[in-house]
């Protein structure tokens, strides 16, 4: 019989649902993000209208960042707020710790995603925020995800973690 450690049990424990707060796509490389109220997530491929779509089921089909981390980044930069477009992530989520979703399956509306990794900042953060921009985002850049089941997602959709059985 297999026994789980306390840490394993805590990691697998339920978490409060979050909400999709912002959506953005990049129509081409280095282009500004376009803010949308809804977007189609395509299983194994990426986001409709985003230049980063893949045909090889890559790990970085969607990038997500928490609104709470954007607030921290703003504080680190000494700004009242930071426009999500400058962070170059596709989805801004509120009320849920995205780091807890790395390696986990979760739903946004009807779409099923799987957290595939951490989303480290790129050199564009220095361009967008000036000196110190990269370090302001370090550790707060969110996660990447694969799309397992596609669907349209909308601002206000719930973000919920699937349990280990997929229920």
Query: Domain containing 64: what range?
Result: 17-149
Number of domains making up the chain: 1
- Ramachandran angles phi, psi of 92, nearest 5°: -105, 125
11 within domain boundaries: no
124 within domain boundaries: yes
pLDDT at 2: 63
86 within domain boundaries: yes
Q: Are 109 and 158 in contact (CB under 8 A)?
A: yes
Strands 105-108 and 111-118: antiparallel
82 within domain boundaries: yes
Give the whole-angstrom CA distance, residue 93 versus residue 30: 23
Per-residue pLDDT of the chain (167 residues; tens, 9 = 90+): 566 788 877 877 778 899 999 999 999 988 999 999 999 999 999 999 998 766 677 888 999 999 999 999 999 999 999 999 999 999 999 999 999 998 999 999 999 999 999 999 988 999 999 999 999 999 999 999 999 999 999 999 999 999 754 44
| DSSP-based three-state secondary structure for 52 | coil
In this structure, what CATH number is given to the domain that contains residue 63?
A: 2.40.33.20
Please enumerate, as own/partner, the contacts of 53-61 that have beta carbons within 8 Å and a separation of 24 or more.
57/146, 58/146, 59/116, 59/117, 59/144, 59/146, 60/116, 60/117, 60/119, 60/144, 61/144, 61/145, 61/146, 61/147
2 within domain boundaries: no
160 within domain boundaries: no
pLDDT at 10: 80
154 within domain boundaries: no
pLDDT at 14: 76
140 within domain boundaries: yes
pLDDT at 15: 83
pLDDT at 165: 47
pLDDT at 1: 54
The separation between CA 164 and the C-alpha centre of its own chain, rounded to angstroms, equals 20
């Amino acid at each position: 019989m297999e026994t789980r450690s306390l840490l394993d049990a805590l990691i697998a424990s339920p978490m409060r649902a979050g909400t999709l707060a912002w959506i953005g796509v990049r129509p081409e490389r280095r282009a500004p993000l376009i803010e949308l109220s809804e977007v189609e997530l395509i299983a194994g491929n990426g986001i409709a209208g985003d230049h980063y779509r893949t045909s090889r089921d890559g790990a970085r089909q969607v990038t997500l960042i928490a609104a709470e981390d954007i607030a921290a980044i703003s504080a680190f930069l000494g700004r009242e707020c930071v426009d999500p477009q400058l962070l170059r992530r596709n989805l801004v989520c509120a009320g849920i710790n995205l780091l807890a979703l790395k390696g986990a399956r979760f739903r946004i509306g009807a779409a099923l995603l799987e957290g595939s990794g951490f989303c480290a900042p790129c050199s564009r953060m220095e361009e967008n925020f000036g000196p110190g921009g990269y370090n302001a985002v370090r550790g707060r850049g969110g996660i990447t995800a694969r799309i397992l089941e596609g669907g349209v997602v909308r601002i206000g959709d719930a973000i919920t973690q699937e349990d280990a059985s997929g229920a």
